């Protein structure tokens, strides 16, 4: 009986620790443009997280994955230069990415990394299209 009770208590403690640590990490809540979306030309991307973002340890890279050439969409990977990342002064949970010029029509892949208020680095990415 004691052995069963001890095993149950240990299992419960382990599950509690796992659940707590899994919930402790920052996560992307929403983005504009959204993953998989097609949007009009823009020069700004918004990434909203569930925790405040530490700007010193956070950033993103934008790659154009396809472009229109001769009226057809052609695969062509090219890093987009002139992208600056900052935390929205009105909302510490939002990272703003701005490009020096509006994005040209084509496909894009965004990869991001942030350190949020829990001090863990989280990474992710998604694709979207500009028409």
Pairing relation of β-strands 44-49 and 28-32? antiparallel
pLDDT digits (tens, 9 = 90+) for 1-29: 555 544 544 444 444 444 444 456 899 99
Whole-number Å distance between alpha carbons of 24 and 2 = 33
Cβ proximity of 16 and 7 under 8 Å: no
pLDDT at 25: 86
Whole-number Å distance between alpha carbons of 63 and 75 = 12
How crowded is residue 117: how many other Cβ atoms within 10 Å of its Cβ? 15
How crowded is residue 131: how many other Cβ atoms within 10 Å of its Cβ? 9
pLDDT at 11: 44
Cβ proximity of 74 and 68 under 8 Å: yes
Q: What is the pTM of this model?
A: 0.80
Provide the token pair at 107. Answer: 């496909």
Cβ proximity of 118 and 25 under 8 Å: yes
pLDDT digits (tens, 9 = 90+) for 31-60: 999 999 999 999 999 999 999 999 999 999
Whole-number Å distance between alpha carbons of 37 and 113 = 21
Provide the token pair at 130. Answer: 């500009």
């Amino acid at each position: 009986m004691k052995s069963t009770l001890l095993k149950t208590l240990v299992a419960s403690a382990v599950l509690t620790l796992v659940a707590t640590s899994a919930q402790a990490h920052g996560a992307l809540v929403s983005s504009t443009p959204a993953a998989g979306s097609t949007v009009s030309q823009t020069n700004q991307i918004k990434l909203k997280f569930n925790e405040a973002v530490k700007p010193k340890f956070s950033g993103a890279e934008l790659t154009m994955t396809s472009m229109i050439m001769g009226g057809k969409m052609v695969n062509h990977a090219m890093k987009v230069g002139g992208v600056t990342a900052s935390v929205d002064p009105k909302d510490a949970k939002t990272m703003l990415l701005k490009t020096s010029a509006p994005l040209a029509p084509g496909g894009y892949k965004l990869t991001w990394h942030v350190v949020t208020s829990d001090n863990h680095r989280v990474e992710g990415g998604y694709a979207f299209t500009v028409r």
